[in-house]
Homo-oligomer: A and B are copies of this chain.
Amino acid sequence: MLLLGAASALVDGINEGVRARGFTDMRPAHGFAFVRLAPDGATVVELAEHLGVTKQAASQMADELVRKGYVERRPHPTDARARLLTLTGRGWACTRAADEAASEVLLPWADALGPDRLATVRTALSTLAVPGRIRPTW
């Protein structure tokens, strides 16, 4: 289906842009994690739910991101068992790079389309998409 092709092209394009900006050790999956971590941080379990994987998988991804310097594990303010994962400066820089890359990919597309048809596409897609479903690994 061409919906899939478009989605792939989009993800590839953004990933390409992120790498071009110097973050060569990032995969698209990391970007999906950043979406959840960006506002106020999250626990491993919350991250796991957001990504649709087990908490072990999320934990080991967190390990990787900590090792690479994008994420910190801080003590949770109210729960001594939990740890709050938050973005480091480098993590935020990468998030900004991803936003830039995304605009870069979408801008010419939105331009060619015009605001009206763009809105049509957006609403059309949002009726099909169930909220929060981001499981790219088939």
Pick the residue among B6, B127, B131 that contacts A3 (CB under 8 A).
B6
Nearest B-chain residue to A11, judged by Cβ: B138
CA A28 to CA B3, docked complex, whole Å: 14
Tallying the copies of this chain within the complex gives 2
Is there contact, CB below 8 Å, between A11 and B5? no
A111: shortest Cβ distance to chain B, in Å?
11
Is there contact, CB below 8 Å, between A124 and B129? no
A49: shortest Cβ distance to chain B, in Å?
15
Is there contact, CB below 8 Å, between A11 and B4? yes
27 contacts between A and B (CB under 8 A): A1-B7, A1-B10, A2-B125, A3-B6, A3-B125, A4-B10, A5-B130, A5-B131, A5-B133, A5-B134, A6-B125, A6-B128, A7-B7, A8-B133, A9-B128, A10-B128, A11-B138, A27-B138, A28-B138, A109-B124, A113-B124, A120-B120, A120-B121, A121-B124, A121-B125, A136-B138, A137-B137
